[in-house]
Structure 1
Amino acid sequence: MKKTLQIGIAAALATTTFFGATISKNDEDVQARSIYSNCTAFNGKYAHGVKVSSKTKNTVHKRNGSVVYEYSRAYVSASIYKKAMKQNRDLDRDKDGIACER
């Protein structure tokens, strides 16, 4: 009886652990998709956007046709930028290396 109880508890614990890990992985995927769904959601987590490197400057196209390069206060992370581009390429429409710049 005692051995059967131990096996039952071990099986229940293993099942809970396995399905719990599966559920949390799915939750992370859903959360990641919601963050990268649009710039409003992305700026909720990264207020000024994310840029590839510290040397990346914001490209601004003026109405008279000229292009100006400005300093950006965006968070620097190449891995986050690459993940964002993999999920949604529209986050960097001007293709200047800064996703959802402000």
Structure 2
Amino acid sequence: MKVLIYDLEELRESKQFYERELPRYGIVIAYIILILILSLLIWSIFSYVNVYIKFQGIVKQIKEGAVVVNKVAGEVKKVYVKEGDYVKKRRCIVRDGCK
């Protein structure tokens, strides 16, 4: 295997490439990109995103008790009972958005 040794004068094009200055608009664009990346990073750390999920479901109690099943999809407008309250038969426990 032959070792190649170059003189610095032979490497003129690559030397010029590495020693040349960036154009002014290149530096401005680099700073703008850097500022955008930093601002997105700061925003992602301190921002809070609300997540809303709509679904139909069944509420089941693990221990003894009643099973509440949702027959119609909609929003619950008002709840008339609290957790642990005793509910009699045919008592309205929630009001939905339907008329």
Q: TM-score range by the shorter chain?
A: 0.3 to 0.5
Give TM-score scaled by structure 2 length.
Answer: 0.36
The structure, 1 or 2, with the larger RCO (C-alpha pairs under 8 Å, 6+ apart) is 1
- Structure number with the higher helix fraction is 1
Give TM-score scaled by structure 1 length.
Answer: 0.35
Larger C-alpha radius of gyration, 1 or 2?
A: 2
